[in-house]
Structure 1
Amino acid sequence: MPVPTKILVATDLTARADRPFARAKLLADIWNATRTLLFVSSPKKEVDIAKVEAELLRNYGSDAEGCNLAINYGKPPQVIAHTAEQLDSDLIIVGAARHNNISDFFLGTAVDHLVHHAKSPVLIVKERPRAQYGRILVATDFSDFAAHALRTALAFFPDAKIDLVHAYHVAYEAWLKSDGVANEMLSDAEKELQDFMTGLNLSASDAARVSPHLVEGNLHQSVYKMLDDREFDLLVLGTHGRGGFVMATIGSRASEMMGWSPVDVLMVGKPD
């Protein structure tokens, strides 16, 4: 899987959208990728293209040079997904604004629609970019979709260290306090982890970058604690998993994890 060569950045062209714009610039420079800035407007409001271009240069300056500009009308999630497909974009980058109007992209139902309908991975930028992603946390449920998310992280960020975390649950732990049960569940999880890593068939260099972790209990609480230590730059989640839409592991709460994550989040959907 190659690094992205076409990046689509959803923006309202204002200064407050500087974080996704800056991250896109940093990644484009690293990957030698093209950037298309997408501005989505209400169908009831005709856009003055010259004014949009002037705002672009005023807010982003020389960093905007070389960007393509796309202007479309409609509801942002649908328009972003459709435009990305039209342009054959390898990555969609959006911000995490706390607003709820046509010019903003916000967490909630809008981002849910985008990440589950876009064919490209979606990067939600929360922090001000200061460097490349150096350490990445990938949550896994050992599904094929989780494997695809991990491979995507390895391909997109070839210099980053990756921590792979899986949470296993001790069945009926409130009633069964036997160490034997806990040890058996741990042994099963270790076997699954080993099979998962073997099935990935990673190169030696990629395998050396991945540090697997097994945690007992709740995956979401474990991920939150790991992110709260501020040692990671990026969280990677698959939007699908075991049983279709991940059920009790990741997918059913992927949007919630994306919402409370203090760091940027890369959402990776089904492989083609």
Structure 2
Amino acid sequence: MNDSSRGPWPQHLLLATDLCARCDRPLDRAKQLALEWQSELVILTVREGPRTPEEVASWLDRDGATQAFELAARRELDEEFQDSGVAPSLRVVEGDVTDGILDVAGAMEDALVVTGASSEDNFQQLILGSTAERLAQDLAHPLLVVRQRTRGPYQRILVANDFSSAARRALETAARLFPERRIVLFHVLEALAEPVAGAVQEALAASERFLDDCLLAPGARAHISTFIGHGSVRDTIARYALEQATQLVVLGVHPQSGLARMFMGSRSEELLQHLACDTLLLRSREDHDDG
């Protein structure tokens, strides 16, 4: 069961953003979650070194440039969050983007990291490239990648299930963070091109046994349904999420296998590229996962 002394929700939300116009979606989701959970919102932006000759002069005068940037950012955030009920704090650090996120998040005992696509290549990689891979491997906290517009709290959630400890943590976390929401526990029979009744029934029974072993709050199981798909893991989950208007897919990450060797050997990077909805990544707590 959950430790009631710390509460069911993260104490901190860390929004990693470069504050460009395309970052409105993760910012809006972070604001919504901060209100829902009454969590402290910290907005982090990482300023890297100069990448063009034109940027060198301003980088050499980086103290003044950083102060000017922070002042403009704080003014923008004050306007953005005025009368919202959320009072975020701003952190500006210099250096490598991934290192900056890991360092700041590592100093937070209980947090969820939020990010999304950006016009900057380094932030775009949070979804599709090496930055996401390293964060998924090294970040102890959950990582929420936002794609969709925020139109209220998450209501339709899918948890991918390969019966591993990573999947167990994914389900337990989803049920804890989003109580009384509809959660579909989704397992894919990847070896089958067509559904076979016996295999489907066996997978459903295994899903029920998996639920028996999960630590869930009283009443949480009533909001969880099991579903068995067949075919390619990537295509099956992406298609189901699109057809069912799923708002959030929760994926367990196996840290020993690069970025997320998830259920049945599928690569989470490949699945992330095909999901149209928001994605929550949770690293297994075990150094050597059982998946």
1:195 and 2:209 are equivalent in the alignment: yes
Aligned to 2:269: 255
- Aligned pair partner of 1:30 in 36, 39, 61: 36
- Name the CA distance, whole Å, in 2 between partners of 1:99 and 1:117: 22
- Provide the rounded CA distance (Å) in 2 between the counterparts of 1:249 and 1:62: 40
For the pair 1:40 / 2:34, whether they are aligned, the reply is: no
2:72 is equivalent to residue 54 of structure 1:
yes
Change (3 A) 1:159 1:57: farther
Post-superposition Cα deviations, 1:23-68, rounded to whole Å, max 9, x if no partner, equal 1111001111001111101145324234323234336614176211
Aligned length: 265
CA contact (8 A) 1:124 1:264 kept: yes
TM-score by length of 2: 0.80
In structure 2, the CA distance between the partners of 1:144 and 1:103, relative to structure 1 (3 Å rule), is closer
Per the TM alignment, residue 233 of structure 1 is displaced from its structure 2 partner at its CA by 0.8
Kindly provide the CA deviation profile for residues 183-218 of structure 1, in whole angstroms up to 9, marking residues without a partner as x: 553343233222211111534410011010112322
The answer to whether the 8 Å contact 1:41/1:102 transfers is no
Match of 2:23 among 17, 26, 32: 17
2: distance between equivalents of 1:104 and 1:245?
A: 13
**Which runs of 5 or more structure 1 residues have no equivalent in the other structure?**
none
In the alignment, does 2:132 pair up with 1:111? yes
CA separation of 1:239 and 1:106: change in aligned 2, threshold 3 A? closer
Q: Cα offset for 1:249?
A: 2.8
Q: How many angstroms does 1:221 deviate by? A: 1.7
With over 3 angstroms needed to count, the CA separation of the structure-2 counterparts of 1:29 and 1:192, relative to structure 1, is same
Distance change (3 Å), C-alpha of 1:186 and 1:245: farther
User: Could you tell me whether the CA contact under 8 Å between 1:146 and 1:241 is conserved in 2?
Assistant: no
Instruction: State which drifts further: 8-17 or 149-158.
Output: 8-17
TM-score (norm 1): 0.86
- Please give the root-mean-square deviation of Cα atoms over the aligned residues, in Å: 2.9
Uncovered stretches (5+) of structure 2, i.e. residues with no partner: 3-7, 51-58, 287-291
- Paired residue for 2:81, among 42, 59, 63? 63
CA separation of 1:135 and 1:241: change in aligned 2, threshold 3 A = farther
Report the CA distance shift for 1:39/1:202 in structure 2 as closer, same or farther (over 3 A): closer
Change (3 A) 1:244 1:210: farther
Q: Which sits farther off after the overlay, 21-30 or 243-252?
A: 243-252
Give 1:247 shift. 4.7
Q: Tell me the secondary structure at the aligned position of residue 173 of structure 2.
A: helix
Report 1:120-135 matches (<5 A): 120-135=141-156
> Is 1:141–1:241's contact at 8 Å kept on the other side of the alignment?
no
SS of match in other structure, 1:94: strand
CA distance in 2, matches of 1:114, 1:250: 22
Alignment partners' CA distance in 2, 1:37 and 1:99: 17
The amino acid that maps onto 2:76 is R
SS of structure 2 residue aligned to 1:83:
helix
Identity of matched residues, %: 28
Q: Is the 8 A contact 1:233 1:264 kept in 2?
A: yes
- Aligned residue for 1:205? 219
Distance 1:241 1:190 in 2: 27
Q: Secondary structure at the match of 2:213?
A: helix
Partner-residue secondary structure (3-state), 1:200: coil
Structure 1's 86 and 248: CA in aligned 2 closer, same or farther, altered over 3 A?
A: closer
